[in-house]
Each structure stands twice: as C-alpha cells, then as structure tokens.
Structure 1
C-alpha cells in the first residue's frame, strides 16, 4: 500500500475584484499521484502553478475543493481538528524561506521543541534531549539551543527548520523548495543532510522545486 495517495484533487479559490466582481481561480485541477514508503518524489513546476498549494492541502493547512488525499488508505481531505494533530505527527513540512519560518522571539531550543509541545508528545526532558540529538544530526551543536534565529546564516536556519520538522518523528517530510533561498554553495550541504537523514530515519520525501 502507498503511504500517500492523491486522487483527482482540485482546489479553487474565490476572489473578489476592486469593483466587487467575484472570480474563481483554479489553483489545482485533477492532481493524481502516489508516494510509496521510503520513496523520494519530486514535484517540479513554474512559480504560481500550485505546488505550494498542494503541500498545504497535504499538511492540512487548507482543504481541497474536490478529490481525495489518502494517508495509509484513509481519506484525510476533510479531517477534524483532533485528527489533524495525528496527521501532522506523521507529515511535516520544511518551508522555502528559513528567515520567515522561524520566530525571531523564540530560542532555537523552543522552536525545535514547539511541535512536540503543541501535540503533547514526550516529557519536557525528553523533548530537550531529542532536540539536542536532532541538532547534532543536522550538523549543529546542542549549545545553540539558547540562541536566537538572527544569530545564524540562512543555511544554518534551514538546518534548524529541518530539525524542527523531525521533532514529532514524522514518516513523510514535505520539502517546499528548501534550498531556493540559499547560496549555491550551501544548497549542496543541505541536500546532503537531507539524503543522510532519509537513510538514517527511513523517511519518505515529497520534494517541491521549480
């Protein structure tokens, strides 16, 4: 069985012009794909074609207008609030911009532990221990736990974002153009880290690029 299936998914947004005229914008139209456990699947397309919209539907930041999104054969397209928490334990996302995706007011340790706190996962001591372990896995020292995002480069921030995404032990990681905001020299480093993590943690990747 595929870990994730998307069947004929559509997403329509309703907009209104300055003059009050309504308009339908079809962001996605009949998207179908499947993702096997341990697989890395790339979604490639030009800017504005709906790639990030698809990621939002899978992680349940929005609901599709039509079609089905199946996780282990169960339709999660219109999951209730309690079910959404369970979905996000299994599916996490790394966003494109490492500068805007990390709260500047939170310490690195709190940023990484936040998903587990929200979902009620682990004790506080276990969260801290796991956060330190994840930092080391992405090539950062555990001593950065008490520092703030502005003290780090873009590549380091993206490593922190990856560690945060792994906090709840997800099975699927959605990578929404995770290297496009980074310098070319840093892109390879981040991609190598993602390849190593996939092998060590048996992760399944949905990689969005353009």
Structure 2
C-alpha cells in the first residue's frame, strides 16, 4: 500500500512539474524555431541583394520638376515584384530543408537557473511543416537632418510553421520586417510618395 502511495505521489509531483515547465518549453521551442526561420529570411534577402546588385534606384524612381525639386517618387512595380518573387522562391526552398529537421532544448534551460543553462538531457523539437510564406513591402520615412528625409524600403515576411513537441504540436507564425534598400532625400518629400503604398 505504501509503495502505491509513493508511486502516486511521484506521479502527481511529475505532473505538477510538467504543468509548470510546459509553458516555458513552448516559449523556448517557438523562439528556437523562429530564430532559424528569421535566419533563413535574412539570408534569402542578403543573397538576392548580393547576386542581383539591387539598389534603391532600381526599385524607386525620383522625379523632379523644372526647378530641380522632387515632384514624385515612383515605384518600379516590375522590379519590386521580381525581387519579392526571387526572395520568396529562395525562402521556400530553404524552408523545405527546415521541415523535418530536429532542434533541441537542454533541460537545464527550462529551470531559469543560469548555471544550469545548456546542461542536462536535450528535449527534442521538430519543425514538422512550414506552411504559407508571404511578403509585403513597407515604406518608412523619417527625418534625417535639416531638409533631409530617409526613405527605407523593407520587406515584411511572414511564415507559418508547425512545431512538434513531446505530447503536442504548436502552430506559430513568424513575421520579420527586413530592410531592402534606403536613400536620403534632400529637399521636401512630395505628397505623391503616398502612391507607393504598403503593397508596392
């Protein structure tokens, strides 16, 4: 009878510990997977920028009036779409290699105790599937000095993924806003820059 009570008490203790550590494990698993996915995003953009030599002037045309003042900023839709397509194609190929890959978290990391970080057995994490991959352009304007405006173009990339943990499957979404090109515009920025839009 005593041994049964001991087993029951141990089971309850393990269950309690598991309930306490489960949220930490989920958070760390998501962070680990997200880090890998963001690395793929960064690498895809860096490789495309390096291979294609894409610059701000390739994506945005600055138009001036007879006085030399900036009259409009015009998107090169063909160049923007081509660049985004190449980025997404590279990402899909790299993410396919991530699907089915195994990551791990040392048990010591779950305790929150610094000296135990990286210690103990590793709990397996597997990215079992990568779903949709989506990208939208964002335009950011900020003051860069007297009569100067910095215009930065970034690509907001979103990836959905499923992560397999012991006893459950997590669904997560990773979004990163990664700079693509920028320039400093000298002079007043015309209102027509609004034509660029978020999805240019």
* Fold-level similarity (TM above 0.5): no
- Higher percent of residues as strand: 2
TM-score (norm 1): 0.22
- Using CA pairs under 8 Å that are at least 6 residues apart, name the structure with larger relative contact order, 1 or 2: 1
TM-score (norm 2): 0.23
- Higher percent of residues as helix: 2
